[in-house]
């Protein structure tokens, strides 16, 4: 028989081991609901990429290879110096750290990061595009981004990417003698577009749309990257002790609890990409006076009338598969000054913040949400949070670990 003292010691060791396992499963006071939220925010909850019914080559490796080339080609711009990759820098989460995007000129909004963009339901800060392939077309014709025309896109593809294009989409049309033409260009380019026959316009539109589909196939492969929070959640759910590269401090765990609770951050930043892909008015100031950027309220008519939307003739989708567009909310009052929240992965390295870089630092962002300043137009969904200095510091620590 074991001596009572030795037996007591063994019992103590077993009890300690059991309790250690319990506390990894329920770390530092996290409730069952908080653990469920943590799992929902981790990459372990990321589903497979959704099907894009409007883009039949969305998951084609050949299309992605062509799209990667188009994404980095500066010839698709009026000055030969601007590519998609000019603003979407791979080393910077495919964004550029600038308050406003800079192409041929200056845009009115920030460049959004592209990692995980294949999951997005609406594109741009205001959702004026309903697919990734359609979104890729907008900057090409923007006077302050690429400053190009859709006919020039088609001509450049015919001259430089013919074999890769035709292997995916079939024969290119004869574009001999077609001028720089676009219905969205300057006066001369619009006049040139109006002078083309409907058949020639359709030919150009189809090549233009297919260029967007190839770029989208590339961008769908830009998946979110794992971070320390993901590794921590994985270890907790497995009932194991987190490794050094997965451990969280008490302050970071407290910050998560605020993020998921008192801070109300998951109202907009939910799911493993940390965005709900919807539109919210959060009282952010305007760079313009008077205010001209109405956010989602100004984009609803644009996406409905876009010839490159899901139900348009250049989409590969049957209209019945375009429920997102057909049944979208159209309440202009609800969407006044409402913008899409970007995902928060890597957020600490992406200053400045908000849709036009209005807030310089993360501490100031936290203070903005804590104070809940009323919106200059429309109605903000924010209410004062009453976070203490300690709570704000904890929330900042959690955001930084993302």
> Tokens 């030969």 correspond to what residue?
80
- The pLDDT tens digits of the residues spanning 217-242 come to 999 999 999 999 999 999 999 988 88
Average pLDDT, the chain: 92
Give the percent of the chain with pLDDT over 90: 88
Ordered by where they begin, the domains of the chain are 27-46+226-288+337-401 (1.10.760.10), 61-219 (1.10.760.10)
Residue with tokens 């990692």: 115
CA atoms of 21 and 23, how far apart (whole Å): 5
Task: Write the pLDDT tens digit of every residue in 347-397.
Answer: 999 999 999 999 999 999 999 999 999 999 999 999 999 999 999 999 999
% of the chain with per-residue pLDDT over 70: 93
């Amino acid at each position: 028989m074991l001596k009572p003292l030795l037996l007591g010691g063994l019992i103590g060791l077993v009890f300690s081991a059991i309790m250690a396992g319990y506390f990894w499963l329920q770390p530092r006071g996290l409730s069952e609901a908080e653990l469920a939220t943590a799992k929902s925010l981790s990459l372990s909850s990321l589903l497979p990429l959704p099907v894009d019914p409007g883009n039949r080559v969305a998951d084609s490796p050949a299309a992605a290879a062509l799209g990667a080339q188009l994404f980095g080609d500066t010839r698709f711009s009026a000055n030969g110096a601007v590519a998609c990759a000019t603003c979407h820098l791979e080393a910077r989460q495919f964004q550029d750290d600038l308050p406003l995007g800079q192409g041929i000129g200056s845009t009115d909004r920030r460049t959004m990061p592209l990692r995980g963009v294949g999951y997005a339901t609406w594109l741009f800060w205001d959702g004026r595009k309903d697919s990734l392939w359609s979104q890729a077309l907008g900057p090409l014709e923007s006077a302050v981004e690429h400053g190009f025309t859709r006919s020039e896109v088609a001509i450049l593809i015919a001259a430089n990417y013919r074999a890769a294009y035709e292997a995916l989409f079939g024969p290119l049309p004869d574009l001999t003698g077609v001028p720089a033409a676009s219905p969205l260009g300057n006066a001369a380019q619009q006049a040139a577009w109006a002078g083309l026959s409907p058949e020639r316009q359709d030919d150009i539109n189809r090549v233009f749309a297919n260029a967007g589909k190839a770029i989208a196939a590339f961008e769908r492969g830009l998946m979110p990257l794992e971070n320390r929070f993901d590794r921590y959640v994985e270890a907790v759910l497995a009932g194991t002790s987190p490794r050094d590269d997965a451990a969280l401090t008490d302050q970071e765990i407290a910050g998560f609890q605020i993020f998921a609770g008192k801070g109300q951050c998951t109202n907009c930043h939910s799911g493993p990409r940390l965005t709900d892909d919807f539109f919210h008015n959060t009282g952010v100031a305007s760079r313009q006076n008077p205010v001209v950027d109405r956010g989602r309220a100004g984009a609803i008519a644009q996406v409905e009338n876009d010839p490159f939307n899901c139900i348009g003739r250049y989409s590969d989708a049957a209209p019945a598969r375009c429920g997102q567009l057909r049944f979208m909310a159209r309440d202009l009052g609800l969407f006044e000054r409402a913008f899409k929240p970007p995902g928060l992965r890597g957020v600490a390295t992406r200053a400045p913040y908000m849709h036009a870089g209005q807030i310089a630092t993360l501490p100031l962002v936290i203070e903005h949400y804590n104070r809940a300043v009323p919106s200059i137009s429309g109605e903000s969904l924010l209410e004062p949070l009453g976070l203490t200095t300690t709570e704000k510091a904890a929330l900042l620590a959690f955001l930084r670990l993302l």
